[in-house]
Structure 1
Amino acid sequence: MTYGIEYAPLMARVERHKKRPDDVVAFIKVGDREQLCFFERETQQPAAGARVEVMITSPVHPRKDRYLDFGQLTALRVQVVDLARHVLVAIDGFSQSGSMCRTLASGVITTGFSSINNKLADAMAAPTKGRMTITPGRTGVRYADHNWDSFNRRPLTPIQPTNIWAERNAATGLPVCQPNGGVRAIGLTRIEDLECAELVAQTARKAA
């Protein structure tokens, strides 16, 4: 089992909102194009013209007949990475083992320099490190569907290791644990990890 991948900061350029000059928006580079991003409300709003490291907190889908249209994408929601409040976690990849099962991953704290194998994960002493159960939160992360289809004999989808951001406990420096003991992912480090990554490729505008 492999946890995580080599980490690269996700950078965004900040621009003043054209319709609401008191607000700012961000743009993430996607090849030779740019994806529009909105900052999370009540989080740090950088100055226009700045370049900042961000995490993807969720996709923004438009509404159609009062319901969210998951086949379309308006923007991505992001927030600025703050290492005093956020911790990077290497995960083996999200998967769902059945229609009645939760989407989960296993993870370990990482510096992001490289992936982590089982031997190294075992060497990390709990409770200060060690493996954690990770839930996807509202990130819209891509996951492997292991719901066995006995009629179609569909092959199992391989899970994809990656890195996620979790909230940091200020007292311990470790990820904040939820009441059920799991750690909730609050942000993604790559567009490729989104379930709607293909929509990003379709909606990204020409780079400024």
Structure 2
Amino acid sequence: MLRNHRLADVAHRIHAAAPQYAPLLVTPVASDKRKGEVVAFIGQQVCFFERGSRMPLTGQPIEVMITRALYHRNASGHFDRDRVRALVIRVVTQDDMLIAHDGFECSGSMCRTTAAGAIGHGVTTLTPGRTDIFEADNVNSRFCGREDVPVRPGRVWIKRADTRRDVIRIEGLARLEDAQFAPAVRK
């Protein structure tokens, strides 16, 4: 009973630290370059819908999550993380669940990147998956004479079916600001 009470306190602190939620809405439009395909825009940044996901109707605003970024390549053929070509998004469905987290941090001797996520009154461990969510890089910061980078609490999308797992992989980001690539996105 005491353990459940402590977990509920931790879950409450995680919820309180996360920013207010505002749905990420886009209005799909027909692609100019690929006949029969649909794209959307977040600000000036073009967004492609995840392959194999539900394709939305054009002209009707829908809620989406950001699943990853696509980057331009530099002269040597490597991805240029300072130049986002497009964002990949997916329509939010009933199979998805929005949860709060306490911020991702890469630290420790094993360089583990995780966050605590609050599901109702319980707590779970989250991993970033392929989302490229912001993570505070604090590996060896104390030994290198650097200040620790503060973690950034937020909200993320997970699969509702995964809530019983010990470690849950994030499916998508609820806000552009939570991504490592946010500064490289066209506003």
For 2:78, give the aligned amino acid.
Y
Aligned residue in 1 for 2:64: 54
Aligned equivalent of 1:89: 99
Partner of 1:115: none
1:121 alignment counterpart:
none
**1:175 and 2:163 correspond:** yes
Report matched runs for 1:179-194 at 5 Å: 181-194=166-179
More strand by share: 2
CA contact (8 A) 2:142 2:148 kept: no
1:2 aligns with 2:31: no
**Aligned partners of 1:23, 1:176: CA distance in 2, in Å?**
36
Match of 2:83 among 48, 72, 76: 72
Residues 56-205 of structure 1 aligned to structure 2 (within 5 Å): 56-64=66-74, 65-82=76-93, 84-98=94-108, 100-109=110-119, 124=121, 130-150=122-142, 152-169=144-161, 175=163, 177=165, 181-200=166-185, 203-204=186-187
- Size of the aligned set, in residue pairs, is 172
Which of 25, 28, 32 in structure 2 is aligned with 1:18? 32
Q: 1:104 to 1:86 in 2, by over 3 A?
A: same
Structure 1 vs Structure 2: percent identity of aligned residues? 40
Letter in 2 for 1:27: F
Equivalent pair of 1:148/1:156 in contact (CA under 8 Å): no
Hey, what's the Cα distance between the residues in 1 that align with 2:141 and 2:159? 36
CA contact (8 A) 2:156 2:172 kept: yes
Distance 2:140 2:28 in 1: 44
Q: CA deviation at 1:99?
A: 6.6
Does the aligned pair in 1 maintain the 2:14–2:117 contact within 8 Å?
no
Question: Does the 8 A contact of 2:109 with 2:139 survive in 1?
Answer: yes
Q: Deviations over 1:87-132 (max 9, x none)?
A: 111100111114732210001126xxxxxxxxxxxxx2xxxxx100
Work out the CA distance in 1 between the residues paired with 2:25 and 2:110. 37
Q: Secondary structure of 1:74's partner? A: strand
> What do you get for the CA RMSD once the two structures are aligned?
1.7
Verify the 8 A CA contact 1:86 1:168 in the aligned structure 2.
Answer: yes
Higher helix share: 2
Return the alpha-carbon distance in structure 2 between the equivalents of residues 98 and 18 of structure 1.
47
TM-score (norm 2): 0.85
What 5-or-longer segments of structure 1 have no aligned partner? 111-123, 125-129
Greater mean deviation of Cα atoms: 151-160 or 11-20: 151-160
The two structures have a TM-score, normalised by structure 1, of 0.77
The letter for the 1-side match of 2:64 is V
5+ residue gaps, structure 2? 1-12
Distance 2:143 2:180 in 1: 25
- Report the residue type matching 2:31 in the other structure: H
